[in-house]
A and B are shown apart, each in its own frame.
Chain A
């Protein structure tokens, strides 16, 4: 085989990594490079250094150490039987690339993953070596996210957390049946076991630091996971259920949803058509409802249709409100925070502003208009000093009145 240049390998190994959705670089401990030998800092909030035309942020150098793989997962472009170009980096090459990009302010840090070569533990050791060189030899204080390999020796998985800000293990598919069918080499029990180990290590390290300031940090930005949407038959309700269980059981920071996208040289078992991107967006919205708006998983499921799918033309919060209209209208001047958060069109920011402002005076509809993006959406669901939606809430065509006119298409354009 001819020698591939660094550029060629970068292209191959970045291309192979792009199906990982996460690019977050937030939520870790604050650090600066002052008083150190190297470079790097982390703020509470991550920085997106560029955006690609797919609308996704580029915050980290997201690459694989190698895309050679002994596994044969159908949805994965790097599976053993896939006919893609293969390449590998040495740990030192990844370190150099990371520092070269970081110095020019292209990235916040590194997100490193890998195909499985030789064995899971061998691969994991290589990943850890990259992080170790960056931290120990270069005193790099930027962000590091390591994808850990559930089948690797648990001791290695623990070592990863000592260098990395975030560790993650992908659950891959929302259903057990999907995993068995599409990822024959993976085992749900092993994946969950490893996630459980990580949770234990994170909790333990937090506890130790509470007592001894010198205790080492362990993955201060916690752990996350990813599942692929649209490759198996799981409905939105299934996915929401699965996600909430994962949040509960493993104290995850985030569950990422990745709409299955047709990959070159796909296995014939897979659908070639992608699910609508808006579906992924609706799942993130329902995820938000559970994490920041106080909805229980069964309430989010109730927003879905009989087939278990969330509507694509309206967001899940509006769908819920239209279904459970008896809880509305909500009095903007009296209702507690929990109820205000249920009003379609009021985000956490707007609710905070309303709570602060109404301590000063009673709010009129016009005031609410200044605090929200779309008064038309909010109006049918609230009571203000000078406003009462007498008939609106009961109208059968309410959905048509407030649903965005051009439907899902338009929303997709502005989706985050």
Chain B
């Protein structure tokens, strides 16, 4: 540096910048201070109109630098970072930047040292400002207002945390070039008429008109795109802190959406139960009567005949299938179709008399695909919801019969007993103890065997027979009389 001695400045040197984002002013002054070799701890920075930093600062001006002083050199990157960091609202930012500028003269590589305290602070400032700019682009909301000339005009109210209004202008101009808009903030305002950008004075919230019919649509969208099955409020708050909410129309929905979410998810699982009011049927006959007129799900409304359970009312074994089929429906009896025949044969082989069990289905009506008159009705699986609705009847049968062992055939039956979907393949052939002490045994539905090809069928039939054998043995242990 030049050998020129530092001029005799008073205790401290006070600098007043024109505006909180006056980077050009800071840069010009800082260059002069550096040429005069004024150390960082002797400068007090402030902004015109804001509280002065140090009222006792003696000198109110910075003399011109000597004409022969060498211009200070800084890496290009410093100017980029300083330009951003200066927009931060922290009052110490000017001093920090000058201190870094000062230190850079002796250590040109200083900025690379990300672990340095000052570099770290600058990095923090820049990151915060970038985030604020990004959030303004994200969370600013325009409202359409009609002007006298009939043209649409868009107005937004936004409260930035830092001095980013001017720095944000280009983004909105580039994006909404053909619109007429105004952005109002407590720091100032921007007005774009499609060709020219004008700056205006600070504004108040009331100046941004309220009410835009599009907001109702947007809120509808916001509520619908939210997935109540996955609540992650923390993740939302991290990216969209509460301070932004008051200027976002959709945010007023948030508390209700959160409150409703868990309720909605559990309702999805237990929707069946709410459809039933009053006491449970007092007899199996009442169940049969009840299901005949039950219209609580779509299958109940398809005009088919309900098929009640049958067998021994005091059975130790209850067998639950899926739903009546093409053969069972017209005759009103369970397990008399092809799959029912397979079941009855296999039960007998395992030493179980089907007449002494209670035979029923998870769903009481026949769900089928109608392929036109004269064609055989094609079986369709009931949905989880349909099974859940019909659970109420199956549970009522269970309470009346009080079986020691329940044999569930297939996924639908297992769901009907447990109230949740389980894997038949991984749970088959072993006992699960239910709340009332009864044991649940799960195996496949015999209709599965009918759909298999020759080779697979043999293996699967053996596995089915083995499942039945194990269940039968257990039944004899639980109820030796059977």
Question: Residues on A close to B: CB < 8 A?
Answer: 6-7, 10-12, 14-15, 17-19, 32-41, 43, 47-58, 61-63, 81-83, 97, 100-101, 103-106, 259, 261-262, 264-274, 277, 353-354, 356-357, 359-361, 363, 367-368, 370-371, 412-416
A61 and B230 alpha carbons, distance in the complex (Å): 20
Partner of B137, one of A38, A47, A267: A47
User: Is the CB–CB distance between A58 and B222 below 8 Å?
Assistant: yes
Please give me the residue from chain A that is nearest to B134 by CB atom. Answer: A47
User: Is the CB–CB distance between A39 and B138 below 8 Å?
Assistant: no
Please give me the residue from chain A that is nearest to B120 by CB atom. Answer: A370
Sample of 11 further A-B pairs with CB below 8 A, known A14-B220, A265-B383, A273-B420: A18-B227, A33-B178, A43-B171, A49-B139, A50-B240, A50-B251, A53-B236, A53-B257, A55-B232, A104-B144, A353-B114
Partner of B175, one of A14, A40, A271, A273: A40
User: Is the CB–CB distance between A268 and B387 below 8 Å?
Assistant: yes
- The prevalent SS among residues of B at the interface is helix
User: Is the CB–CB distance between A54 and B230 below 8 Å?
Assistant: yes
Partner of A105, one of B134, B142, B250: B142
User: Is the CB–CB distance between B115 and A353 below 8 Å?
Assistant: yes
Which residues from B are CB-within-8-Å of A97? 217
User: Is the CB–CB distance between A268 and B415 below 8 Å?
Assistant: yes
CB distance from B376 to the nearest CB of A (A): 19
User: Is the CB–CB distance between B412 and A268 below 8 Å?
Assistant: yes
A412 and B380 alpha carbons, distance in the complex (Å): 39
Which residues from A are CB-within-8-Å of B223? 11
Asked if B174 CB lies within 8 Å of chain A CBs, one says yes
Which residues from B are CB-within-8-Å of A356? 112-114
- Count of chain B residues with a beta carbon within 8 Å of a chain A beta carbon: 78
User: Is the CB–CB distance between B154 and A39 below 8 Å?
Assistant: no
- The prevalent SS among residues of A at the interface is loop
Which residues from B are CB-within-8-Å of A106? 141, 218
User: Is the CB–CB distance between B231 and A53 below 8 Å?
Assistant: yes
A81 and B258 alpha carbons, distance in the complex (Å): 30
Residue interface mask B345-382, A partner, CB < 8 A = 1 = 00000000000000000000000000000000000111
Q: Which of B3-11, B33-41, B261-269 contacts A (4 or more CB under 8 A)?
A: B261-269
What are 7 A-B residue pairs whose CB atoms fall within 8 Å in the complex? A11-B221, A32-B177, A51-B235, A53-B231, A104-B214, A271-B421, A271-B423
Which residues from A are CB-within-8-Å of B411? 268-269
Please give me the residue from chain B that is nearest to A15 by CB atom. Answer: B224
User: Is the CB–CB distance between B142 and A267 below 8 Å?
Assistant: no
A363 and B114 alpha carbons, distance in the complex (Å): 11
Please give me the residue from chain A that is nearest to B216 by CB atom. Answer: A7
- Nearest first, the 7 A-B pairs at minimum CB distance are A55-B235, A55-B232, A367-B115, A413-B234, A353-B114, A32-B174, A14-B224
User: Is the CB–CB distance between B383 and A36 below 8 Å?
Assistant: no
Asked if B248 CB lies within 8 Å of chain A CBs, one says yes
User: Is the CB–CB distance between A412 and B232 below 8 Å?
Assistant: yes
Please give me the residue from chain A that is nearest to B115 by CB atom. Answer: A367
Which residues from B are CB-within-8-Å of A33? 174-178
Please give me the residue from chain A that is nearest to B214 by CB atom. Answer: A100
CB distance from A301 to the nearest CB of B (A): 24
User: Is the CB–CB distance between B112 and A357 below 8 Å?
Assistant: yes
User: Is the CB–CB distance between B141 and A105 below 8 Å?
Assistant: yes
Residues of B207-221 at the interface with A, using a CB-CB cut-off of 8 Å, are: 212, 214-218, 220-221
User: Is the CB–CB distance between B109 and A47 below 8 Å?
Assistant: no
Asked if B385 CB lies within 8 Å of chain A CBs, one says yes
User: Is the CB–CB distance between B142 and A14 below 8 Å?
Assistant: no
Residue interface mask B162-197, A partner, CB < 8 A = 1 = 000000000101111111000000000000000000
Please give me the residue from chain B that is nearest to A97 by CB atom. Answer: B217
CB distance from A243 to the nearest CB of B (A): 21
Partner of B229, one of A17, A262, A412: A262
Residue interface mask B397-430, A partner, CB < 8 A = 1 = 0000000000000011001000011010000000
User: Is the CB–CB distance between B383 and A82 below 8 Å?
Assistant: yes
A188 and B230 alpha carbons, distance in the complex (Å): 29
User: Is the CB–CB distance between B175 and A265 below 8 Å?
Assistant: no
Residues of B78-135 at the interface with A, using a CB-CB cut-off of 8 Å, are: 109-110, 112-117, 120, 134
Asked if B246 CB lies within 8 Å of chain A CBs, one says no
Residues A360 and B112 in contact in the complex (CB < 8 Å), given A62-B225, A106-B218? yes
A266 and B385 alpha carbons, distance in the complex (Å): 7
A265 and B114 alpha carbons, distance in the complex (Å): 54
Partner of B142, one of A35, A48, A103: A103
Residues A357 and B235 in contact in the complex (CB < 8 Å), given A52-B226, A55-B230, A262-B269? no
User: Is the CB–CB distance between B235 and A414 below 8 Å?
Assistant: yes
Please give me the residue from chain B that is nearest to A368 by CB atom. Answer: B115
A49 and B140 alpha carbons, distance in the complex (Å): 8
User: Is the CB–CB distance between A39 and B232 below 8 Å?
Assistant: no
CB distance from A270 to the nearest CB of B (A): 6
User: Is the CB–CB distance between A52 and B383 below 8 Å?
Assistant: no
A103 and B217 alpha carbons, distance in the complex (Å): 14
Asked if B198 CB lies within 8 Å of chain A CBs, one says no
Residue interface mask B412-451, A partner, CB < 8 A = 1 = 1001000011010000000000000000000000000000
User: Is the CB–CB distance between B115 and A53 below 8 Å?
Assistant: no
A268 and B410 alpha carbons, distance in the complex (Å): 10
A210 and B234 alpha carbons, distance in the complex (Å): 45
Asked if B298 CB lies within 8 Å of chain A CBs, one says yes
Asked if B76 CB lies within 8 Å of chain A CBs, one says no
